[in-house]
Amino acid sequence: ETGVTQTPRHLVMGMTNKKSLKCEQHLGHNAMYWYKQSAKKPLELMFVYNFKEQTENNSVPSRFSPECPNSSHLFLHLHTLQPEDSALYLCASSQRGLAGETQYFGPGTRLLVL
């Protein structure tokens, strides 16, 4: 099993739906991240959780709501999304506190908003 898992792998939703993305890391890391990857754009950092506390959100719209119940699990709750929110959503984890930490990614959830 991979170190970072994400479910679902694909999601199609309407603009009025509410859905959640789930991420789980099995690496014993203490930090988790949500990234958005749109076509032809660099990865955009959305949220950072360090020791379960949110430390950065990069001005993400409120229609995206993260939840980190413990250091191994991370959720991204979605509601009233827009078509431009269609993208690949990647979860990552890392061990904070070490010089030059590396973030390890999950396979992503491909989201299509109709």
Q: Which residues contact 7 (CB under 8 A, 6 or more apart)?
A: 21, 22, 109
Looking at the Cβ atoms of 1 and 16, the one nearer to other proteins is: 1
**CA distances for 8 relative to 34, 41, 52, 72, 105, angstroms:** 15, 23, 22, 17, 15
Looking at the Cβ atoms of 56 and 114, the one nearer to other proteins is: 56
The residues in 4-33 that bind other proteins, with binding defined as CB under 8 A, are 31, 33
Question: Nearest-CA neighbor of 11 among 58, 103, 76?
Answer: 76
Interacting span for other proteins (CB under 8 A) from 12-20, 66-74, 77-85, 92-100: 92-100
Q: Which residues bind other proteins (CB under 8 A)?
A: 31, 33, 40-43, 45, 48, 50, 55-56, 90, 94, 96-97, 99-108
